[in-house]
């Protein structure tokens, strides 16, 4: 049992966090009179313009409801007949979307073993051997996640190399950027960092995450590929991802993009993970593979301590077979939350040692 | 040209309306600390409980993003292999969802001519003739819309008769209730009215509309059929309709259900349509088929007046070939909006007569 | 009761007919030693070459199992994201394929009322109004049937006009030629007739029927559109339509194409329908809308006679509500079959009159 | 270069083999007069009856075109909403069907590493951990292949254990029996062997292979699960797998089942693989993992010899990275074929040694 007070916010997930005050204020401001539905409103036009500021003048933005939806819309704009999607075994589209891609896209996911959550060009080249063989689904899209599901991040060069390999074989590239902000923040938090990882690297379509980074709901699909952009409006509606009162999604994103709030929040979240790592790494029994890159750490803990710690302040198991857990920070995690949590960890592990 | 001032709110659609103050307040209140995602939170549990108060103790509620999503989830819980959906030619699922049902469900829609937007049991009986014939998609689900896409509403007895016919042939019944509130308000605005049109009539699964009735986003799929309820959680996620920060959807619905606000708003919207009808029906050149049942009217207008009127205060064409338009009221339409609009109609039609 | 002897072959369908002796002989001849599967054999190469003789040097042929499969493969090579298929209400893909297109293509069929089974360009133009509106599945492919499901046939000019209209709006054209041979035979039975109705008219992909015309099994998808041809091999396998021991499909088609046997057989079948019409049109109680164009007639009969006639020599009801039936001839229907049948019709109708 | 004469039949695949004379004769016999299409004929009724003799009185048989089709039909009869299919990484449905299952079923395949091509119950138990978690496609069907794609075979007890595990978790079992005959022949070639591996083991639906075993085309889906049987007729047509002139499929299977010809042919094929193994295992440079179980061997060869050997008498690479190839025998492989092939192997390897 832990007697010290639990943190105000737990370390379960960034999707357990609340909504940033600026976003709430933007929702209030947008709530004035009537506005035509489905994006024919000034808030949405402003979002589209802001996204072109980020990704260049040809970027076309399509607001959607959620991350799974963004991924499905993005892939649907890219896939041709009988094509398959190459991804990692950890990919959210492969593991955490209840088979949405297979159902809605009718496409095979070719999931490749990637212990660190990152594909390498040789894997694309290897899969390319099935091109032209009618007995195999044809690899058509490479889907990367930045930052990855296992807390790592690609460098801009790595993404560029993967895009080069994909394009060499006529494939296109989707980037699942549910936590793109965290990767950008971790690599410099600048516009050029963002561009180097996306449009300059050759990404065709990206899912631009926002909900986990301080919004209430809503993500964006950003098409950098003109052909994808042409079909996106129809595909978005067809896969149930067209918000009717779209001004409220747009207003939130506009608030997030204002003065780089999105990078500030992601950067803060990353910092809190570093603080958590620093505050617990020397506790006997807590074992890390290394320092966090973005906003999550994956320690192993003594098996007997996990349940008590979770009951006190919830977090998720990651790999129960090796007693590995995930502690995730969010835009609203405070230094006090981290310190209180570290105190609890210290306490439970100390208690355990004494007992 | 119209010189009188345009109304503050136009008559384009109830999805152009804003968010009710109580709903905004509920969003603010829900924005406190962390809450686990995907519905494991007290707001969602409250919604589930409130829905059981409305639909009975076996009702299982699944919050989703939007109306198309609600319909797709609902149908996916009901459809078996090789089954088809019977609906009207006007059905939203048939006309206004960009083929989402066909793509996501892989199912044929059998759309039947229904000039008033309402199916009759004989149509179900007629389609039942293909049951057992392997060359035809098997009618498995009957999808009704209440109130309908053309501004009519079924009586509770009519729905009960349709459910009886469907069940007699082993089919199930989906009710698209994107504007169910308006139908309930039009028929007495009581809990017993609601029940008579849904659970007591034999409906299996319904889409419970909320966005058009004062919310920012979010609808509910209510399963009254136990088998549908069992698969609904997986299907909802699989078709991209699982909100992550679900507390914010639940909080809105809770505000809407508090003190029957949902019926008050829908009733007001209906009243405004009646007022609009009364204020314009005697204007020469404006022709109605009859008084409104819910919150829309579909007048025909002299062709030369439509564009000018739309430019002054926007509304949508309905059937351009016969110069029929749609004027739709919303929860926030005011009597002053209606009166100002009627003045403009009178003005443009008067001008026309003089010219 | 009919006392005269029933015909050796009934008038149920051309798919009830047997296999032509030349086709059987070709199967025997092909059954020698090993041949690589999936089309890498000399028989298939010969088919591909013969088809280029028919449809021009750019025609690419893909052998498949059956008519539904041919249609699904053909449409799958043409459809883009969120696109729909325009067809008639009578279309085999709409009525008789158990929703295969919706399931496998995930695409909406827009079925238009065409009492004579034939689309007209104005219907395409009308549907084109939804192009660019994201709330509607985008008409992308026009599917025609030649000869039609109701026994009519397009002229070459009619098909050319439909192709022109479709292409004008960026749509492509599929021709379901399950009974294309009958239409060609009815319009001159020449190579130039065939070309005028297909490649010269602008058809993009066609289903080339063969099973109903004397084969045991097998049809061909012929791509005249290069982009469709590129994806066809993968799509064919993916929709389960790639025959493994393909030499046996190819050998059959080669036999059918040798010395224009396919046109001879279809022409004979058409002639038998004309003979049947001539032999029964003056029988009191048998009412025809007109003479047959291809190999079927659709008389109405006195209701009391239908069951007895079917029991004596089977045929299918067509529209039971008006006592209309279908009599269909086949490549192997003999003049004696027709005459025997006409005798029976005469007998049953005479009996009825006396009673 | 090899100077000895090449065998009359190569070792590429059993689908390169011809058609057995009895099957050809049966096709000739069936080619008499008209027969109603789609299975309403005496040949098909005989097949259904013969299959009940094999699999018990509740077995329902559905004839289809090919193996991929059989698998898709079988799985479609079993899968519920949001369910996934568990299979091996080697499974034909996973590797060799161009994503047909994903496209037509909309279902995820969970492919598990099985070096010997055989699942074990612990793998099912492990996957069952995701049952009830809405974020993961729900394992609903376990698909086994007997004999496997890598030349192994399950014992009856192994299949029974897998079925028990699957059923314990509410899953059903599909058996891909494209080469079931070879497994039955390898384990005793008796009716009780067949039953022990299928109906007695608890298999729900099986694909019964026939084309590779001496037929021209056609396979059977056998439903031992009543619920699957009820939907099978509609599903079969919907996935394009309903043969129109079905008598010709049925007649072939009837010939194959007559006097256990199917087991005689498969047994012969197995014997030829054993002979090939015995004739080449002692050749220096040819390395086998072990003797064949059914009708294929997978030797590794000196890299420099493979191309020359393939040019002389074709076979397929299996794993080029380790110079492993596949030699497959067929129902019509003769002892002389095997001996001639062994002579060539000996020659090329001897040449290599001298050089």
- Residues B53, B144 within the same domain: yes
CA torsion through residues A149, A155, A161, A163, sign: positive
| Interface touch D84/A106, C-beta < 8 Å | no
B112–chain D nearest CA distance, Å: 22
Which of B42, B43, B71, B74 minimizes the C-alpha distance to B229? B74
Cα separation of A37 and B16, whole Å?
A: 5
Please report which confidence band the pLDDT of residue B34 belongs to, taking 50, 70 and 90 as the band edges.
Answer: very high
Q: How would you label A309-319 residue by residue, b for 16+ Cβ within 10 Å and e otherwise?
A: bbebbebeebe
Element (H, E) at A28: helix A21-30
Q: With CB atoms and an 8 Å threshold, state whether A18 touches B28.
A: no
Is C135 within 8 Å of A237 when comparing Cβ atoms? yes
Same domain, A319 and A286: yes
Whether D9 is in a domain gets the answer no
What length does chain D have? 355
R_g of chain D, CA atoms, integer Å: 21
Task: Find chain A residues with C-beta within 8 A of B74's C-beta.
Answer: none
Q: Closest to B13 (Cβ–Cβ): which among A37, A234, A314?
A: A37
Question: Does residue D127 sit in the same domain as residue D237?
Answer: yes
Dump pLDDT digits (tens) for A231-281.
Answer: 999 999 999 999 999 999 999 999 999 999 999 999 999 999 999 999 999
Consecutive 10-residue averages of pLDDT for chain D (355 residues): 92 96 98 95 98 98 98 98 98 97 98 97 98 98 98 98 98 98 96 98 98 98 98 98 98 98 98 98 94 97 95 95 97 98 93 48
Residues B276 and B341 in one domain: yes
Judge whether residue A352 has pLDDT over 90. no
Listed residues D215, D240, D259: the one ending a domain: D259
Q: Is residue A284 part of a domain?
A: yes
- For the residues C289-313, what does the mean pLDDT come to? 96
Assess whether B99 and B230 both reside in one domain: yes
Rounded average pLDDT over B147-151: 97
C187, C193 contact by CB (below 8 A): yes
Give the DSSP H/E element, type plus range, for residue D319: strand D316-319
Q: Do C244 and D15 touch (CB under 8 A)?
A: yes
Is residue B66 scored above 90 in pLDDT?
yes
Tell me the per-residue pLDDT of B223-273, one tens digit each, with 9 for 90 and over.
999 999 999 999 999 999 999 999 999 999 999 999 999 999 999 999 999
Distance of residue A177 Cα from the nearest chain D Cα, in angstroms = 19
Q: Specify the pLDDT at position C128.
A: 98
What's the whole-number mean pLDDT along residues A327-338?
98
Q: Which residues contact B220 (CB under 8 A, 6 or more apart)?
A: B47, B51, B61, B62, B63, B64, B70, B207, B208, B210, B253
pLDDT of residue C354: 46
Both structure tokens of A307? 């349940």
B75: enclosing H helix or E strand:
helix B67-78
Main-chain dihedrals φ then ψ at residue C143, nearest 5 degrees:
-110, 120
- Residue B82 counted as domain residue: yes
User: Which whole number is the average pLDDT over B336-351?
Assistant: 92
Comparing CB atoms, the residue among B34, B67, B216 nearest residue A16 is: B34
Task: Round the average pLDDT of chain A to a whole number and report it.
Answer: 96
Chains that touch A (3 or more CB pairs under 8 A): B, C, D
Residues of chain B positioned with their CB less than 8 A from the CB of C80:
none
Check pLDDT > 80 for residue C130: yes
CATH number for the domain spanning A216: value is 3.40.640.10
Q: Which partners does chain D have (≥3 C-beta pairs < 8 Å)?
A: A, B, C
* Judgement on whether residues D168 and D218 belong to the same structural domain of the protein: yes
Domain end residue (candidates: B236, B259, B282): B259
Main-chain phi, psi angles of B288, to 5 degrees: -110, 150
Indicate whether B311 and B229 sit together in one domain: no
pLDDT at B354 over 50: no
pLDDT, residue A351, reads 58
Q: Is the pLDDT of residue A184 over 90?
A: yes
Same domain, B188 and B42: yes
**Cβ atoms of A118 and A154 closer than 8 Å:** yes
Residue B351: what pLDDT?
A: 57
B316 reaches A (C-beta below 8 A): no
DSSP notation for B290-339:
S--SSSEE--B--HHHHHHHHHHS--EEEEGGGTEEEEE--TT--HHHHH
Task: State which of C259, C286, C303 marks the end of a domain.
Answer: C259
pLDDT digits (tens, 9 = 90+) for C69-113: 999 999 999 999 999 999 999 999 999 999 999 999 999 999 999
Picking from C349, C219, C204, the residue whose alpha carbon sits closest to that of residue C284 is C349
Exposed / middle / buried, residue D66 (Cβ in 10 Å: 0-12, 13-18, 19+):
buried
pLDDT tens, position by position, B329-341: 999 999 999 999 9
In this predicted structure, what is the pLDDT of residue C1? 76
pLDDT surpassing 90 at residue B17: yes
ipTM of the shown complex? 0.96
Query: Can you give the CATH number for the domain in which C307 is found?
Result: 3.90.1150.10
Are A176 and A145 contacting, i.e. CB atoms less than 8 angstroms apart? yes
Q: Which of C238, C239, C242, C244 to mutate to test the interface with A (most CBs of A within 10 A)?
A: C238
Write down the residue that tokens 């301590």 correspond to. Answer: A305
C141 pLDDT above the threshold of 80: yes
Confidence of residue C351 (pLDDT cuts 50, 70, 90): low
- Which residues neighbour C63 within 8 Å (Cβ) at sequence distance 6 or greater? C39, C44, C47, C218, C219, C220, C221, C243, C246, C249, C250, C253
Distance CA C310, CA A135 (A): 46
Identify the bridge partners of residue D142 per DSSP, sorted by sequence position: D86, D173
Q: What is the pLDDT of residue B350?
A: 83
> Quick one: tokens of D342?
């062994």
Contact of C42 with chain D, judged by CB distance below 8 Å, is answered with: no
Residues C237-296 have pLDDT tens digits of 999 999 999 999 999 999 999 999 999 999 999 999 999 999 999 999 999 999 999 999
Q: What is the pLDDT of residue A350?
A: 83
B107: nearest CB among C96, C102, C135 = C102
Task: Say yes or no for a CB contact (<8 Å) between D244 and C72.
Answer: no
Question: What is residue D304's predicted lDDT score, i.e. its pLDDT?
Answer: 92
Provide the mean pLDDT of chain B.
96
Burial class from Cβ neighbours inside 10 Å (0-12, 13-18, 19+) for residue A186 reads buried
Range of D238's domain? 21-259
Peptide bond into D147 cis (omega under 30): yes
**Is the CB of C33 less than 8 angstroms away from the CB of D9?**
yes
Residue A121 inside a domain? The answer is yes
- D4 lies in some domain: no
**Beta-strand pair A324-328/A316-319:** antiparallel
Contacts of A238 in chain C (CB under 8 A): 81-82, 137
Model confidence over C147-188: pLDDT tens digits? Answer: 999 999 999 999 999 999 999 999 999 999 999 999 999 999
Q: Which residue has the higher pLDDT, A352 or D19?
A: D19
Listing DSSP states for D243-288 in one string gives -SSTHHHHHHHHHHHGGGHHHHHHHHHHHHHHHHHHHHTTSTT-B-
Name the residue with tokens 């704009």: A77
Q: HSE (CB half, 13 Å, CA atoms) of C214?
A: 31
In terms of C-beta density within 10 A (0-12 exposed, 13-18 middle, 19 or more buried), how is residue D135 classed? middle
- Which B residues, 49 through 68, put their C-beta within 8 Å of a C-beta on chain A? 65-68
Q: Is the pTM of this model over 0.90?
A: yes
Residue A301 has pLDDT above 60, yes or no: yes
The answer to whether position C13 is within a domain reads no
Contact B240 A69 (CB under 8 A): yes
Using the Cβ of D82 and the Cβ atoms of chain B, whether some distance falls under 8 Å is answered with yes
Kindly list the partner chains of chain B, i.e. chains with 3 or more CB atom pairs below 8 Å. A, C, D
- Listed residue (C92, C171, C75) closest to C124, CA to CA: C171
A154 has a pLDDT exceeding 90: yes
Q: How confident is the model at residue B178 (pLDDT cuts 50, 70, 90)?
A: very high
Residues B141, B99, single domain; the answer is yes
Of D82, D137, D234, the CB nearest to B81: D234
The reply to whether D311 falls in a domain is: yes
**B118: confidence class by pLDDT, cuts 50, 70, 90:** very high
Q: B294-318, pLDDT tens digit by residue?
A: 999 999 999 999 999 999 999 999 9
Instruction: Identify the CA nearest to B60 among candidates B252, B250, B232.
Output: B232
Q: Which residues of A touch D134 (CB under 8 A)?
A: 98
Confidence of residue B1 (pLDDT cuts 50, 70, 90): confident
Residue D89 and residue D180 share a domain: yes
Determine the 3-state secondary structure of C312 from DSSP.
helix
Rounded CA gap, B7 and D182, in Å?
80
- D352: tokens are 């290599």
Question: Based on the domain organization, do D248 and D232 belong to the same domain?
Answer: yes
D103 in contact with A, Cβ within 8 Å:
yes
D314 shares its domain with D209 = no
- The number of beta carbons lying within 10 Å of the beta carbon of residue C199 is 18
Q: Which helix (H) or strand (E) holds A184?
A: helix A180-186
Residues of chain C contacting residue A82, judged by C-beta atoms under 8 Å apart: 231, 234-235, 237-238
Domain count, chain C: 2
Q: Is residue D10 part of a domain?
A: no
* Segment among A200-204, B187-191, B195-199, C109-113 with least mean pLDDT: B187-191
Cα–Cα distances (Å) from A256 to A91, A184, A215, B98, in that order, read 26, 15, 8, 31
Q: What is the pLDDT of residue B355?
A: 41
């Amino acid at each position: 049992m832990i007697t010290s007070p639990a943190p105000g916010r737990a370390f379960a997930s960034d999707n357990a966090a609340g909504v940033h005050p600026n976003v709430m204020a933007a929702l209030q401001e947008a709530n004035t009179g009537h506005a035509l539905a489905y994006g024919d409103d000034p808030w949405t036009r402003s979002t589209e313009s802001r996204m072109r500021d980020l990704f260049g003048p040809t970027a076309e933005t399509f607001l959607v409801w959620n991350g799974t939806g963004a991924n499905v819309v993005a892939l649907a704009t890219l896939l041709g007949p009988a094509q398959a999607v190459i991804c990692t075994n950890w990919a959210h589209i492969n593991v955490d979307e209840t088979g949405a891609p297979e159902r809605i896209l009718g496409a095979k996911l070719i999931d490749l073993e990637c212990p660190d959550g990152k594909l390498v060009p040789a894997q694309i080249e290897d899969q390319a051997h099935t091109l032209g063989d009618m007995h195999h689904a044809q690899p058509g899209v490479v889907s990367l996640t930045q930052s990855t599901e296992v807390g790592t991040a690609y460098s801009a060069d790595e993404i560029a190399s993967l895009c080069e390999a994909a394009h060499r074989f006529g494939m296109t590239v989707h980037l699942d950027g549910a936590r793109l902000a965290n990767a950008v923040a971790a690599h410099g938090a600048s516009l050029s960092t963002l561009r180097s990882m996306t449009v300059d690297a050759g990404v065709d379509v990206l899912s631009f995450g926002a909900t986990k980074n301080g919004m209430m709901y809503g993500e964006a699909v950003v098409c950098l590929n003109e052909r994808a952009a042409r079909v996106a409006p129809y595909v978005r509606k067809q896969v149930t991802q067209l918000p009717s009162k779209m001004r409220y999604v747009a207003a939130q994103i506009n608030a997030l993009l204002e003065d780089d709030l999105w990078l500030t929040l992601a950067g803060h979240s990353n910092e809190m993970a570093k603080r958590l790592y620093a505050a617990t790494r020397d506790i006997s029994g807590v074992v890390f593979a290394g320092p966090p890159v973005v906003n999550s750490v994956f320690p192993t803990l003594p098996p007997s301590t996990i349940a008590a710690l979770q009951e006190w302040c919830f977090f998720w198991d990651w790999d129960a077979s090796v007693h590995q857990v995930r502690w995730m920070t969010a835009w609203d995690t405070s230094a006090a939350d981290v310190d209180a949590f570290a105190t609890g960890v210290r306490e439970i592990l100390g208690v355990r040692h004494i007992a």
